[in-house]
Structure 1
Amino acid sequence: MKEELDLNKGSHFRFWDSLSEDKKAENIKKIQSKIGVHSEIGKLRKVFLHSPGQEVESMTPKSASELLYNDIIYYKNIVAGHAQLKSVLSLVSEVFEVSTCLEEILDLQQARNELLDQVLYYQGCPELKFELSEMPSDELAKTLITGVSLKRNSLESWLSSKTFSLVPLPNMYFMRDTSMVVGTRVISSRMASSVRFTESLIMRAIYEYHPDLTGHGLLLDACYKNNDPKFTIEGGDIIVINEDLLLVGISERTTTKAVDALVDSILSARTQEGKTEPFNILCVILPQERSTIHLDMIFTVANKEQAVVYSPYVLGRERARVVRIRVKSDGDKKFKDVEDLILGLRSVGVRMDPIPCGGDNPLHQQREQWNSGANLFSFAPGKVISYMHEHTLQACESAGFKIVSAKDAIKHPALLSSESPLVVTVEGSELSRGGGGPRCMTCPVLRDPV
C-alpha cells in the first residue's frame, strides 16, 4: 500500500507527524507495525544491543566519573561478558547491532545530513562536517561512536584541555536508556547527562529511518523537542507491565515534568487507537543515590507473577513512595499514594510476588544490588538473564527457577527451551562496573503478546 511504501523511503516519524488525528487513527489500523512492546516478559523477537568497542578504551581515571563510570573498565573483560549476552540473545531473537543499523541509515543522504548536523551542532564541532560527510558509511558509523581526536593545529586547540573534538560514547552499550518502544511507538529520550545526548540522537535517527523498525510514530519526542533541564526521561525508569499499566521511576534521570508529558502522550495515542478504558501509571519516587539511578536497579519483572526486588526500597522501612495515576479516556486524572509498589500493583489487579535481590541478609542485599543484582532481563515468560550473584540466584532457585550458565546454554541451546522458569547467568563482574545489568544493556524492540 502507498503508506507503507512512503514509510520505507524516508522518515517514519515525519510521515506520522504529517497526518491529522483522524488519518493517524485510520493508518494505525492499516499499517502493521514492525515494533511492539506490550509487556516486560513477552517472548522476545527483536532486541537492540551495542557490542562495546574502542570507545570504552578512551576513558582515563580522570575522565571516568565525568563519563558516569565509577572507574575505568577493562576492555577484553567486558567484551567477553557482553559476547555471552549477545550469544544467548541470538539463540532466541533477532539481534540488532547499533553500529550495523547506523551504517545502514547513513547510506540515506537525508538521514546522514540530519544526524551529522545534530551531533556536530550539539558537540560544538561543525568544522568536522565536510571531513565526516566524505566518509563511507561504515567508517562514519564507527567514528560517531569512537570519536575524533582534537587536532592541535591552533593556539586555542594547543592549549585546550580537551582530548576530543567529537567525544566517544563509552556508555553506548547500556542500550536501555536512550530510547524505548512502548506499545507500537518510540520514546526518544532526553538524557539527564550531556555526555549521553549523542547516543539519543543516534538511536532516534535509527528508529526514524531504518526500514525494519517502522512503527506508529513517536510516543514522546523528548530528544528533539524539549530543552528544559527539568525535562529528562530515560528508559531504565520505564517498565511496561501491560497495555494499561506502566511503572515509572522518578529519579535523578527522569523528572516529574517529563512523566506528566508522557501521560498526556499516552492518552493521545490511546485515543488514536480507539482505546476507551482507563490506564494506570505507578510512579516510584527513588532515592537520589548512585545505586538507584533508575527504577530497574531495584525492580525487574521475571515472570507473570514474580519480580526481583531490592527489598529495602520496595518493601522495607526505607521503601520508596509510590503514587498511582489513574487516567480516564476523557483526560480526567486521579492521583493516590499507595503503601508500596507491590500493593500498588495489586490495587490495579496485578499480583507480583517479590524475589529478594541478595536474599534475606541486609549485607548481601546491599552488595548485590550495588552490582546490579536486581537488574534482570526477560527473553520470555519466566526466562531471564542475570549476572552471577550468589545470593540472588539462591533466592531465584527457592522461587522455582533453574540456574544455567550462558556458556552451557550456548553449547546446548535446548536448555533455553526448558519448561521450568530459568535464569541464564552471564559473567558481569566487569560489565557491572559501568553501572548497569542485563536489562540496562538490552533494548527490546518486538515482543509477542503474553
Structure 2
Amino acid sequence: MSVIQVYSEIGPLKQVLLKRPGAEVENMTPESMNQLLFDDIPYLKSIQKEHDAFAQLLQAEGVEVLYLEELVAQAITTSEQQQDFLDLFLQESGIAKGYLYEGLKEYLVSFNTTEMLQKLMAGVRQEEVGLTLAGASLSEMLKIQESPFYLAPLPSLYFPRDILACIGTGISIHPMSFEARKRESLFVSYLYEHHPLFADKKTPLWFDRDLPGSLEGGDILVLSAEVVAVGISQRTKPQAIELLAQRLFAQGDFTKVLAIKIPPQRAMMHLDTVFTMVDVDKFTIHPEILSTSGHLDIYVLEPQGENLKITREEDLRKVLKEALKLAELTLIPTGGGDRIAAAREQWNDGSNTLALAPGKVVTYDRNHVSNKQLREAGVQVLEIASGELSRGRGGPRCMSQPFWRERL
C-alpha cells in the first residue's frame, strides 16, 4: 500500500510535509539575495513564529504535520549512510575530491545526523571549518575566495512543494531549474530511497531528478483523479511535462494533462502563483495571465497508443469544464480584478491557496482584497500572518506538500 494519496487539490487534507525555516534564511546577504532567488532577507525569529502558527493551524484542523528535516534524519541511520549522503551532497555542491572535500567531510561528520543536516541546509561558512590555504590547489584557492561560504545556504527549502509532487499514489522528484535550488531535491531523493515509509518500494516514482528538463512542483496541480494541470513556466519546461504525462498515462489512473502556458516572470514563477483550485467548481486566477480577449495557451495532452495526442486550446473555462465534467465554474480574480490590488497581492501570493477541504482554504492575511473575493464566492478562508513568510515569494500552497488527501 502506498503512503501517498493525492487525487485532487481539495480533498480533505490529512497529512502534509513542511520544512521549518532555519538558519539558512539568515545566511543571506544583500549581495547573495538575487543568486539565492530572494528579494529580501527574512527575520528568522519572526518567520519561524509565523511558520509555527501555520503548522499549528493545520494540526488544529486535524492534519498530521511531517517535517522534511526530521524525515531525512530518520532515513540516515548508519555511519555509512551518513558518509554516503555527504559524498552526494558535496559532489552536487561542485566540490571535487581533494583537500577542501576531505576537510569539509571531516568537519561535518563530527556532528550527529540532525545537526549535520541543519548545517547542510543552513550553509557552511569558511570560518566554521578552520581550513588554511596551505594544502589547497589553485582551483580550491579561487573557490575559497569567491564566497564566505564553502557550502551555500538553501533558504528556499521552506517551500517543499517545488522539490517534489505527490500525484495519485506516487511521487515526482524534481530537477530544479536554478542552480541555487538543485541540491534541495537530493534530500527528497534520499528520503525516497531509504526512509521506512517507502521501504516496500510500492510508491511509484513518476519523475526523478536525473531526468532531462526542469520540472518544479509549484507547476503541478492534481485537479481530479483523472486530470493533472502543469504550468509551462519560467521553471518547468515542455520536455519534462511530456515525459511526466507519458509516465502518468502508462500507470492508468490519469488520462489527461493540461499544459498551461504562463508568462515567464518572477512574480508568476509557477502555475500555483497564478491559479489554484479552492472548490469543486471554483478557482483563483491572476487576471494578467489572460490575454485581452480572456484567453491563454493550453495544450491538452492525452494518451494515443505509446505516443501523446496534443490539442491546443485557448478557452480556460471550456477546457476546465470539459476536463472536470462541470456545467459551470467560477474564476475568482486576484485583487478582485483591480489592476493595482491584483498586482500587489499577486506579488504576495494572493492566488496561492492551500485547500484543507472543498471550499476551505488557508491564505496570507495581507491579501485582504483577494480574501474578501474568496469569501464572497462562498469559500471559508483561514488567514495566517505573513509579514516574513511572504518575503520568499511563496504562499501557503508553496510551503506545503500534501502526502494524503481523502478521495472525493
Tell whether the structures are fold-level matches, with TM greater than 0.5.
yes
1:294 alignment partner in structure 2: 270
Cα offset, 1:252, TM superposition: 1.1
Aligned counterpart for 1:64 among listed residues 33, 46, 64: 33
Alignment length (residue pairs): 388
- Relative to the length of structure 2, the TM-score reads 0.90
2:160 alignment partner in structure 1: 175
Cα offset, 1:53, TM superposition: 1.0
2:250 alignment partner in structure 1: 268
1:426 alignment partner in structure 2: 384
Separation in 2 of the partners of 1:320 and 1:77?
39
Say if 1:158 and 1:68 are closer, same or farther in 2 by CA, change over 3 A: closer
Separation in 2 of the partners of 1:170 and 1:239?
24
Task: Return the letter of the residue paired with 1:200.
Answer: S
Say if 1:56 and 1:395 are closer, same or farther in 2 by CA, change over 3 A: same
Aligned counterpart for 1:334 among listed residues 296, 300, 309: 309
Say if 1:315 and 1:110 are closer, same or farther in 2 by CA, change over 3 A: farther
Say if 1:88 and 1:316 are closer, same or farther in 2 by CA, change over 3 A: farther
CA deviation map 1:41-98 (0-9, x unaligned): 1111211111111111100111001000012222222222212211111222111111
Does the 8 Å contact 2:274/2:346 carry over to 1?
yes
Task: Return the letter of the residue paired with 1:75.
Answer: L
The 5 Å alignment of 1:22-421 reads 32-91=1-60, 92-109=62-79, 111-125=81-95, 126-127=101-102, 128-150=104-126, 151=130, 153-154=132-133, 156=141, 160-213=145-198, 216-223=202-209, 225-226=210-211, 228=212, 231-270=213-252, 279-314=255-290, 316-317=292-293, 319-328=295-304, 330-351=305-326, 352-388=329-365, 389-401=367-379
**SS in structure 2 opposite 1:70?**
coil
Task: Return the letter of the residue paired with 1:256.
Answer: P
Task: Return the letter of the residue paired with 1:245.
Answer: V
Unaligned runs of 5+ in 1: 1-31, 402-421
Say if 1:221 and 1:133 are closer, same or farther in 2 by CA, change over 3 A: farther
Does the 8 Å contact 2:2/2:203 carry over to 1?
no
Separation in 2 of the partners of 1:431 and 1:46?
21
Separation in 1 of the partners of 2:115 and 2:324?
51
Say if 1:447 and 1:316 are closer, same or farther in 2 by CA, change over 3 A: farther
**SS in structure 1 opposite 2:158?**
coil
- Relative to the length of structure 1, the TM-score reads 0.82
Task: Return the letter of the residue paired with 2:397.
Answer: R
**SS in structure 2 opposite 1:348?**
helix
CA deviation map 1:373-400 (0-9, x unaligned): 0000012222110012111011112101
**SS in structure 2 opposite 1:55?**
helix
Separation in 1 of the partners of 2:315 and 2:79?
50
Task: Return the letter of the residue paired with 2:181.
Answer: R
1:21 alignment partner in structure 2: none
Cα offset, 1:140, TM superposition: 1.4
1:6 alignment partner in structure 2: none
CA deviation map 1:192-249 (0-9, x unaligned): 01111121001121132222356634433431x23x5xx1000000000112101000
Does the 8 Å contact 1:190/1:234 carry over to 2?
yes
2:403 alignment partner in structure 1: 445
Does the 8 Å contact 2:6/2:166 carry over to 1?
yes
Does the 8 Å contact 1:54/1:146 carry over to 2?
yes
Separation in 2 of the partners of 1:265 and 1:71?
38
Does the 8 Å contact 1:189/1:221 carry over to 2?
yes
Separation in 2 of the partners of 1:325 and 1:423?
33
Separation in 1 of the partners of 2:149 and 2:160?
23
Q: Which moved more, 1:314-323 or 1:347-356?
A: 314-323
Separation in 2 of the partners of 1:220 and 1:190?
13
Separation in 2 of the partners of 1:139 and 1:443?
24
**SS in structure 2 opposite 1:359?**
helix
Identity %, equivalent residues: 32
Task: Return the letter of the residue paired with 2:245.
Answer: V
Which consecutive aligned stretches of 4+ in structure 1 deviate over 6 angstroms post-superposition? none
Cα offset, 1:162, TM superposition: 1.3
Task: Return the letter of the residue paired with 1:216.
Answer: K
Cα offset, 1:285, TM superposition: 0.9
Task: Return the letter of the residue paired with 1:129.
Answer: K
Task: Return the letter of the residue paired with 1:363.
Answer: I
Separation in 2 of the partners of 1:55 and 1:256?
32
Unaligned runs of 5+ in 2: 96-100, 135-140
Separation in 2 of the partners of 1:383 and 1:333?
35
**SS in structure 1 opposite 2:301?**
strand
Separation in 1 of the partners of 2:323 and 2:215?
24
1:418 alignment partner in structure 2: none
Say if 1:240 and 1:87 are closer, same or farther in 2 by CA, change over 3 A: same
